[in-house]
Structure 1
Amino acid sequence: MQQPWQTAWPERISYGLSDAADNLVFQMMTTYLLFFYTDVYGLSASAAAILFIVARLADVVESLIIGLMIDRTHSRFGKSRPFFLWYALPYVIFAVLTFVTPNFGSTGKLIWAYVTYLGLGFFYTAVNLPITSILPTMSQNEQELTLLGVIRQFFGSSVQIIVAVFTLPLVAFFGRGNQQHGFLYTIILFGIISLALILNTFFQVRERFSQPEADHQPLKDVWQMLKKNQPWLIISVVILLYWLTTAIKNQTTIYYFKYLQHSESLVPIVNGFTFAALIGVVLIVSTAKRIGKKQTMLTGIAIATVGQLILAFGAMNQQLPLIFTGTFINSIGNGLIIGLVSIMIADTIRYGMTMGIQAEGILASTDDFGVNVGLGLGGLVTAGLFHLSGYVANHQQNVATQQMITLNYAWLPLILYLIMFVVLLFYNEKQLMTAVNTHMQAKV
């Protein structure tokens, strides 16, 4: 029997705005931080590459730590919800500090980058992971969980587009020719808005459904559940591949237009075409209801692959119409993919409950794990290949570097989309939903 709906629109909107809050800073990290470090702050590409991989290795551990902290939290506010209150301010402070450019020597600059970026990574996980872990506790209605996930991604994607389009114009406006000041004042603006939205989420959302008998289980039992939770393992790999793809492409976009098109001003324009992700997001509710979540995500990957192929041919021949068209189509597919991530993780959490284990923190940590590792590997691949090809910041690039930029922007993402598609084929949605529905009926 279909469960009744439990959330009202103020709570749904507030839940969705939590992802908008995080993405104000997150999108700055994924799209512009490598450029900031190499062309504004003054780090070498090799130093930035090492920093990214160290930070992401740390984030792997941090995701597990935060997940365990959520699963072990006893609070009158719940398990996930208090993290929005406790960590919102430190998150914003470290976001601002990451874009501060102290007048240190090369060693001092590198130490500052490590301390601030590692700190930002930890606090990002602390405010982002609860968005996923709290979802299956807000409702037991599958259709409502899908709606909440779509609302979250709609706001998250909207802010990603806003940041991608308006960051460089804001940097130019605030900096008046000084990009150090421009990036700093821009992140301060984003940080203030982010803080308000995260705190709003804390005050508005509620955790309603828990299984005390399945809660706070020994780690050895949780580990056994994880090994048996095949859908969770598959979706974890898909998330990792998606963020690896996104990191490589997003971080390379500004380099492509600066050094191959010789026009940074085109970056906000091409990023404006990513608004098409919202088309994919709003299609999720009806499409997933008709053909299922797995088939909907596979459709999204296929659309994204076609768009990336068009973009690749445009990039190879420096044809802006093809690049814009490919970006538009690719973004529709990306909307379908990323909009389903938190929803499908929520399903794996509910699947874990059928095995007698409620470990939403650990299971939700796969989202931040995939984000962090994907971004780290993406930053390592991008910065490392640039270093090997002889990249020199703010100079005309040699032929090898130009080819490497095109490879990262066009062809590597295409290959990763194909791998992503194959991996998702092994996701057994029918088995998962049968177990969940049987478990729910047994409890009624």
Structure 2
Amino acid sequence: MTMEIKNPCINSIARISLGEKLAYGIGDFGSNMVYANVAAFLTFFYTDIVGISGAVIGSIILFSRLFDGFSDVAMGYIVDNTNHRFGKARPWILRSAIPLAFTLVLLFSLPGFGKIGTAVYLFIMYNLLTTVFYTMYSIPHGTQVALITQDQYERSLLNISRMVSGTIGALLVNILTVNLVNQFGGGVAAWRKVFVIYGIIAAAAIILSFYFTKERVASKKAVKEKITLKAGFNALLSNKYWRLVLLLGILTYGIMALSGINIYYVTYILGNQRAMGTLMIFYFASSIAGMIVMMPIIKKLGKRNTVFVGFVIYLIGTIIILINPNAESNVYAGLFVKGLGFAPLVGSLPSFIVDTIEYGEWKTGIRNEGLVYSSESFGQKFGNGLSSAMLGWLLALSGYVGGSGIQTESSTSVIIALFTYIPLILYAFAVIVLMFYKLDKEYNKILYELHK
């Protein structure tokens, strides 16, 4: 039987107001005015509107990932060594808001430099936006949960608020952007006007998130001297739960990256490319519903066990699709059920990450919120990139021919596998990883000892 530790430190900071939870979440609503738009429309804008080769754009994005990985770790180190009247994370969230909005507008503007000059302009603006200013927002904002409260359930609610708000932002972006561009008359000028609107919304939401949240948590062993990068990494490597959650993040974002197969599935399996919009609505709607439904379940079962329940639901959704993978009704119903099942994993991942911070502090005496979160972010991007590459490799090996109206049987089999079996296998590996995760049972005892 697990001994329950009544921790007065938890009770004193456990209750976070609904307003603060919503304020924390609205930051990701704003950031998805940036991130979701770049993910969905950057390539299209520069190929179809500006006229740059898709190969050039792909190379720029792939090469920029190298800078992005280094900037994540650097930003985490900066957060860990920030001492400001607003806290460790909040100052950087505020500082990121205006530059993030401004570079978003510049990225979706035509400079008129010619093709080589425009490619250079894209490289500079893309890295300013994603590698510098988006990292300046995302790493501190993710880290902030560990600084708002040490209560596990409240952290889960904060992260669910964040994920729901971000999903709503992404849904609106996917539905509204093309329609707004057409309303403004199309062309470069119309795109720029639309992104001015998105930039204003993004900056306002991020600033609101800054003003209506508060950092409450500080290490009992905190001192003025800085944590060296070497000491921070040594502390990470000795944290067994950080290693598990790093692998969990790679698997979770690997599943998310496989959504790139959706457009192929509706085109070559369902034979109806227009079904893509409906598919995305079912996906986002189920994600939001799943994150809301999981709140009371987490309180009763804990994060880990809720993910186990989610896997069973995800398995049922996959089976529904496989009963008749060519029928739209089966695909929509199965995808909705899969979304409900995936929500506990993707919604709880940030909470799994921040809970490892207290374990690391207890084990090593070093509290390094920023480095923990930034290194996990780097791992998630690795998982995203690995799955994206796997998608392309498997399609190529299957004999897929882009633009062809008819694909070989091996190609369609690979597309179905990437849509159903492979995400399920990755989720199963995530469940296996979580079987070794016992921190939920140990957490109160660790926190009690930290505050003795």
Indicate the TM-score class for this superposition, using the shorter chain for normalisation: 0.7 to 0.9
Once the two structures are overlaid, the 10-residue window that deviates more, 110-119 or 83-92, is 110-119
1:350 aligns to 2:361 (yes or no):
no
- Residues 374 and 29 of structure 1: CA distance in aligned 2, closer, same or farther (over 3 Å): farther
Residues 99-138 of structure 1 mapped to structure 2, 5 A cutoff? 99-102=108-111, 106-122=115-131, 123-138=133-148
- Cα deviation digits, residues 134-162 of structure 1 (max 9, x gap): 11221233332232222222222222333
Residue matched to 1:12: 21
Amino acid at match of 1:242: T
Q: Is the contact between residue 305 and residue 418 of structure 1 (CA under 8 Å) also seen in structure 2?
A: no
- CA separation in 1, counterparts of 2:254 and 2:404? 27
Alpha-carbon RMSD across the aligned residues, in angstroms, is 3.2
Residue matched to 1:189: 197
Identify the match of residue 296 of structure 1 among 302, 306, 311.
Answer: 306
Residue matched to 1:50: 59
- Residues 321 and 60 of structure 1: CA distance in aligned 2, closer, same or farther (over 3 Å): same
Q: Is the contact between residue 358 and residue 447 of structure 2 (CA under 8 Å) also seen in structure 1?
A: no
- CA separation in 2, counterparts of 1:303 and 1:412? 16
- Residues 105 and 159 of structure 1: CA distance in aligned 2, closer, same or farther (over 3 Å): same
- CA separation in 2, counterparts of 1:55 and 1:143? 36
- Residues 330 and 236 of structure 1: CA distance in aligned 2, closer, same or farther (over 3 Å): same
- Residues 28 and 106 of structure 1: CA distance in aligned 2, closer, same or farther (over 3 Å): same
Q: Is the contact between residue 97 and residue 207 of structure 2 (CA under 8 Å) also seen in structure 1?
A: yes
Shift of 1:342: 1.8
Q: Is the contact between residue 56 and residue 375 of structure 1 (CA under 8 Å) also seen in structure 2?
A: no
- CA separation in 2, counterparts of 1:432 and 1:175? 59
- CA separation in 1, counterparts of 2:430 and 2:51? 35
Residues 134-173 of structure 1 mapped to structure 2, 5 A cutoff? 134-173=144-183
Residue matched to 1:433: 443
Residue matched to 1:92: 101
- Residues 150 and 272 of structure 1: CA distance in aligned 2, closer, same or farther (over 3 Å): same
1:71 aligns to 2:88 (yes or no):
no
1:80 aligns to 2:101 (yes or no):
no
Percent sequence identity over aligned pairs: 27
Amino acid at match of 1:142: Q
- CA separation in 1, counterparts of 2:130 and 2:27? 17
- Residues 187 and 322 of structure 1: CA distance in aligned 2, closer, same or farther (over 3 Å): farther
Shift of 1:391: 5.7
Residue matched to 1:329: 337
Residue matched to 1:219: 229
Identify the match of residue 241 of structure 2 among 223, 231, 238.
Answer: 231
Residue matched to 2:257: 247
- Residues 95 and 410 of structure 1: CA distance in aligned 2, closer, same or farther (over 3 Å): farther
Amino acid at match of 2:90: R
- Cα deviation digits, residues 57-99 of structure 1 (max 9, x gap): 2221111011001011121111100011111122222333333
SS for the counterpart of 1:354 is helix
- Cα deviation digits, residues 43-67 of structure 1 (max 9, x gap): 5554444333322222211110110
Residues 391-402 of structure 1 mapped to structure 2, 5 A cutoff? 395-396=403-404, 399=407
SS for the counterpart of 2:11 is coil
- CA separation in 2, counterparts of 1:330 and 1:26? 24
SS for the counterpart of 1:211 is coil
- Residues 110 and 402 of structure 1: CA distance in aligned 2, closer, same or farther (over 3 Å): farther
Q: Is the contact between residue 240 and residue 369 of structure 1 (CA under 8 Å) also seen in structure 2?
A: no
Once the two structures are overlaid, the 10-residue window that deviates more, 409-418 or 221-230, is 409-418
Amino acid at match of 1:89: I
- Residues 37 and 428 of structure 1: CA distance in aligned 2, closer, same or farther (over 3 Å): farther
Shift of 1:435: 4.7
- Cα deviation digits, residues 196-249 of structure 1 (max 9, x gap): 000111112111220262454333332232112111111122222222221231
- CA separation in 1, counterparts of 2:26 and 2:142? 13
Residue matched to 1:279: 289
Shift of 1:36: 4.9
Q: Is the contact between residue 31 and residue 247 of structure 1 (CA under 8 Å) also seen in structure 2?
A: no
- CA separation in 2, counterparts of 1:338 and 1:68? 25
Q: Give the TM-score of the pair, scaled to structure 1.
A: 0.85
Shift of 1:15: 0.9
Once the two structures are overlaid, the 10-residue window that deviates more, 130-139 or 36-45, is 36-45
Once the two structures are overlaid, the 10-residue window that deviates more, 64-73 or 251-260, is 251-260
Shift of 1:164: 3.4
User: Looking at CA atoms only, which structure, 1 or 2, has the larger radius of gyration?
Assistant: 2
